[in-house]
Structure 1
Amino acid sequence: MITRTIFRVLWVVVSFLFASGIALVVLLLLGALWVGDELRQAAPHDPMMQEGGEVFGLVMFTAAVAPTLTVLPALVAVVIGEVLKFTSWMYYVLAGGLSLLAVPLLVGTPDEMATLPPVQATAIFATAGFTGGFVFWLICGRGA
């Protein structure tokens, strides 16, 4: 009984780390594409931006987002799902999306809270969270 619980906890941790990694890759990829498009539109005649906009976008988006990343909301969602034995894919997808969507709001200062993130950034965070939640459900959530 105790070894089954220990292995379950280890499996949840490994699954959570893997799903978080996938969500981070999706977040940075979509963010790089979005910022790259914005840079190309801002400098339409700059050949460097036309050829390497995604690279600059990745650097800029990572620099802007990295200080705000925290796994606490997603960790709370996973613990709730495991304790209450939720096996529904919908719970993990929605919880993943909401937890990653809450990250910019949780780490912002009160002055920054007056202006919500742009719609594109919100969609990028939510999509990455949905992906991470779905990956976690595929690996581990079905057997909660």
Structure 2
Amino acid sequence: MITRTVFRILWVVVSFLFASGIALAVLLLLGALWVGDELRQAAPHDSMMQQGGEVFGLVMFTAAIAPTLTVLPALIAVVIGEVLKFRSWMYYVIAGGISLLAVPLLVGTPGELSTLPPPQATAIFATAGFTGGFVYWLICGRGA
């Protein structure tokens, strides 16, 4: 009984780290594409931006969001799902989206609408969270 619980905890940790890595990869990829497109539109005649906009976009997007990244909302969602034995893919997908969407909102100052992220960034964070939640469900959440 104790061995099974220990292995389950280890499996949850490994699955969470893998799903978080996938979500981070999706977040950075979509963010780089978005910022790269914005840079190309801002400098349409700059050949460096036309050819390497995604690289500059990746650097700028990563620098902008790196201080805000935290796994606490996703960790809370996983613990709730495991303790309450939720096996539904819908719970993990929605919880993943909400937990990653909460990250930029938690960093902002309460009551200030100017700190809300742009709609494109909101969609990118939610999509990455949905992906991470689905990957976690595929690996570990089905057997909660």
Supply the distance in 2 between the matched residues of 1:102 and 1:86 (Cα, whole angstroms): 21
Unaligned runs of 5+ in 1: none
Moved over 4 A (4+): none
In the superposition, the TM-score normalised over structure 1's length comes to 0.97
In the superposition, the TM-score normalised over structure 2's length comes to 0.97
Q: Which residue of 1 aligns with 2:140?
A: 140
| 1:110 partner SS | coil
Supply the distance in 1 between the matched residues of 2:110 and 2:139 (Cα, whole angstroms): 37
Q: Which residue of 1 aligns with 2:35?
A: 35
Q: Indicate the RMSD between aligned Cα atoms, in angstroms.
A: 0.8
Supply the distance in 2 between the matched residues of 1:9 and 1:106 (Cα, whole angstroms): 28
Q: Percent identity?
A: 89
Matched residue count: 143
Supply the distance in 1 between the matched residues of 2:110 and 2:23 (Cα, whole angstroms): 27
Post-superposition offset of 1:55: 0.1
| 1:109 partner SS | coil
1:1-144 matches, cutoff 5 A: 1-110=1-110, 113-115=112-114, 116-144=116-144
Supply the distance in 1 between the matched residues of 2:124 and 2:19 (Cα, whole angstroms): 16
Post-superposition offset of 1:44: 0.1
Unaligned runs of 5+ in 2: none
Post-superposition offset of 1:89: 0.1
Supply the distance in 2 between the matched residues of 1:96 and 1:110 (Cα, whole angstroms): 23
Please tell me the residue identity of whatever aligns with 1:39: L
Please tell me the residue identity of whatever aligns with 2:142: R
